[in-house]
């Protein structure tokens, strides 16, 4: 996520806010201690599933390589370490 934020900033890409927190706060949220994260994260719909989870359950290849590869290529072009 840190790399994605750095690349987006370098390339002038505005990331959409998909939840209650803006994208730049997500890395901080993910680094919280488990006890605090679980208290704050309880607001997440327990039935929510990621597309990667759905792909894995259905035996499909995930889009991780495609997504991460795009971030790496854009980062290299913008000289983001």
Which helix H or strand E contains 74, and what residues bound it? Answer: helix 64-77
Place of tokens 């390589």: 65
| Tokens found for residue 53 | 């989870």
- pLDDT tens digits, one per residue of 6-63: 999 999 999 999 878 899 998 998 899 989 888 876 666 778 788 889 999 999 999 9
- This prediction has a pTM of 0.70
3-state SS, 14-43, equals: CCCCCCCCCHHHHHHHHCCCHHHHHHHHCC
Nearest to 3 by CA among 79, 77, 72: 72
**Total structural domains within the chain:** 1
pLDDT of residue 42: 66
pLDDT of residue 67: 87
Instruction: List the domain range (segments joined by +) for residue 21.
Output: 2-77
Nearest to 18 by CA among 26, 8, 9: 26
């Amino acid at each position: 996520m840190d790399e994605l934020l750095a690349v987006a900033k370098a390339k002038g890409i505005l990331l959409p806010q998909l939840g209650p927190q803006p994208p730049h706060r997500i890395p901080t949220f993910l680094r919280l201690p488990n006890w605090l994260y679980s208290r704050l994260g309880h607001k997440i719909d327990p039935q929510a599933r990621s597309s990667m989870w759905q792909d894995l359950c259905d035996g499909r290849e995930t889009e991780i390589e495609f997504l991460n590869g795009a971030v790496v290529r854009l980062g290299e072009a913008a000289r983001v370490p």
